[in-house]
């Protein structure tokens, strides 16, 4: 049974006004337990709207969201429990910090769950370790931290709830390359260690290529593709036709092939490219001898 399933999910913002907007239309997807799913799509294609349905922040205009096979809106009073199971880190989550210390801010989620003090402390420290926050930073006011540190505190705040499904909406937007690599690495580690299901929304094809197993491509509120990462990036022309790019490495491979080199299948991570190109280079060097 898929851990999350949506059936014909549609959502309209401001219905019945001139500002009416069908943000997502008839989305039906299944996400299996332990999957690492990437969501890509043009600005305004409905990615954020979609993920806000998965933890019950938005109530579908039509369609259903099933968590472990049960409609999450079956009992609207219990929707908070869904939010503890499906953790969502918003776009620019550092804007939601409010406590006096980073520690207390990370503890906000777990204490809402009604856990006892020891358990909360354990979870806060585990989550902080995961995102690479040093102990002395935990006692600082979140407003004194740097942008990247704030971002980590906010992500830790959701990780500390230890959700079965962790959703991150552009967690690396506006970070430097090193900070980006670090956060992505930590998310991948969290996934491995907890066997959690992770959904990552991102505009960076490189990030998606490197971390995810499956990719959901959104276009104008509908699902354009939903498949293994490799398969999705092999359909580069289709991606480009809906205004998305492919990882730079994949573009290089496409050009090499266009120039007449027999480089085989497209690679979409640097590691793959190295594996693919090295033998070819060796052969060339051999021929020259």
Partner 1 sequence: MIDITLGQYFPGNSFLHRMDPRVKMVLIFLYIFSVFIPQNWVGLGLAVAFLVFVIILSRLPVKLIFKSIKPIIPLVLITSALNIFYISDGTTLFKWGFIQITTKGITTASFIAIRIICLIAGSSLLTYTTSPTTLTDALERLLSPLKVVKLNVHELAMMMTIALRFIPTLIEETDKIMSAQKARGADLESGGLMQRIRALIPIIVPLFVSSFRRAFDLATAMECRCYRGGERRTRMKQMKMRVPDYISIVVVLAFAAGLLGLNFIFKSVL
Ligand X SMILES: Nc1ncnc2c1ncn2[C@@H]1O[C@H](COP(=O)(O)OP(=O)(O)OP(=O)(O)O)[C@@H](O)[C@H]1O
Are the C-beta atoms of residues 28 and 6 closer than 8 Å to each other? yes
CA distances to 13, 199, 224 from 25, rounded to whole Å, are 12, 20, 12
Q: Report how far residue 271's alpha carbon sits from residue 78's, in angstroms, rounded to the nearest whole number.
A: 45
| Comparison of 91 and 230: residue with beta carbon closer to partner 1 | 91
Site string for partner 1, 5-44 (x = CB under 8 A): -------------x--------------------------
Per-position b or e across 114-142, b if 16+ CB within 10 A of its CB: ebeeeebeebbbbbbebbbbeeebbebeb
Cβ 159 vs Cβ 131: under 8 Å: yes
Query: Binding to Mg ion by residue 48, rule CB under 5 A?
Result: yes
Nearer to ligand X, 23 or 107 (CB): 23
**Three-point CA angle 123, 201, 58, nearest 5°:** 80
Interacting residues with partner 1 between 123 and 182 (CB under 8 A): 143, 157-158, 161
In whole angstroms, give the CA distance from residue 11 to residue 62.
7
For the bound state, the minimum distance from the C-beta of residue 11 to partner 1, rounded and expressed in Å, comes to 12
Q: Which stretch binds partner 1 (CB under 8 A): 27-35, 84-92, 210-218, 241-249?
A: 84-92
Among 4, 23, 97, 120, binds partner 1 (CB under 8 A): 97
| 80 touches partner 1 (CB under 8 A) | yes
From ligand X, partner 1, Mg ion, none, interface partner of 101 (C-beta below 5 to 8 A by class) = none
Residue 87 is a binding residue for partner 1 (CB under 8 A)? yes
CA distance 134 to 91: 24
Return the bridge partners of 5, or none: 30, 66
Number of residues this chain uses to bind partner 1 (CB under 8 A): 24
In the complex, the residues that contact ligand X under the rule CB under 6 A are: 13-14, 21, 23, 41, 43-49
Binding site for partner 1 (CB under 8 A): 18, 52, 55, 57, 80, 83-84, 87-90, 93, 95-98, 108-109, 112-113, 143, 157-158, 161
């Amino acid at each position: 049974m898929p851990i999350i399933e949506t059936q014909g999910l549609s959502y309209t913002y401001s219905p019945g006004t001139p500002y009416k907007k069908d943000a997502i239309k008839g989305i039906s997807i299944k996400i299996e337990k332990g999957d690492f799913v990437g969501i890509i799509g043009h600005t305004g294609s409905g990615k954020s709207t979609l993920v806000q349905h998965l933890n019950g922040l938005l109530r579908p205009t039509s369609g259903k969201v099933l968590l472990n096979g049960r409609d999450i809106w079956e009992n609207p009073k219990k929707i908070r429990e869904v939010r503890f199971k499906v953790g969502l880190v918003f776009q620019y989550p550092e804007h939601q910090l409010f406590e006096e210390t980073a520690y207390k801010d990370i503890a906000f989620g777990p204490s809402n769950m009604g856990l006892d003090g020891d358990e909360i402390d354990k979870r806060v420290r585990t989550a902080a370790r995961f995102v690479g926050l040093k102990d002395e930073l935990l006692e600082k006011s979140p407003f004194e931290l740097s942008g990247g540190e704030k971002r980590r505190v906010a992500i830790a705040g959701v990780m500390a709830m230890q959700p079965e499904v962790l959703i991150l909406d552009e967690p690396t937007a506006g970070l430097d390359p090193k900070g980006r690599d670090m956060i992505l690495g930590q998310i991948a580690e969290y996934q491995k260690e907890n066997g959690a299901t992770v959904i990552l929304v991102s505009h960076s094809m490189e990030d998606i290529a490197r971390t995810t197993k499956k990719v959901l491509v959104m276009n104008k509120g509908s699902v354009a593709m939903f498949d293994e990462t490799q398969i999705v990036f092999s359909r580069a022309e289709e991606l480009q036709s809906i205004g998305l790019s492919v990882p730079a490495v994949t573009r290089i491979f496409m050009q090499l092939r266009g120039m007449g080199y027999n480089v085989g299948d497209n690679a979409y991570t640097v590691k793959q490219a190295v594996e693919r190109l090295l033998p070819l280079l060796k052969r060339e060097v051999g021929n020259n001898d």
